[in-house]
Amino acid sequence: MEGNKLLASLCYFSVFFAPFLFPIIVYFVAKHERVKMHAKKSFLSHLIPIAIVLVTGGLFLFFVIIGVDGWLGLPFIGVMIGGVVHVVVIIWNIIRGIQVLQESGGMYE
The model's pLDDT over 39-95, given as tens digits with 9 standing for 90+, comes to: 999 999 988 888 887 888 787 788 778 777 666 676 777 778 888 998 999 999 999
Give the pLDDT of residue 40: 94
Give Cα separations from 18 to 24, 26, 69, 80, 96 (angstroms).
Answer: 10, 12, 39, 23, 17
* Stated pTM of the model: 0.79
Q: Which alpha helices (DSSP H) does 1-109 contain, by range?
A: 2-13, 21-29, 33-66, 74-102
The one-character DSSP state at 103 is: S
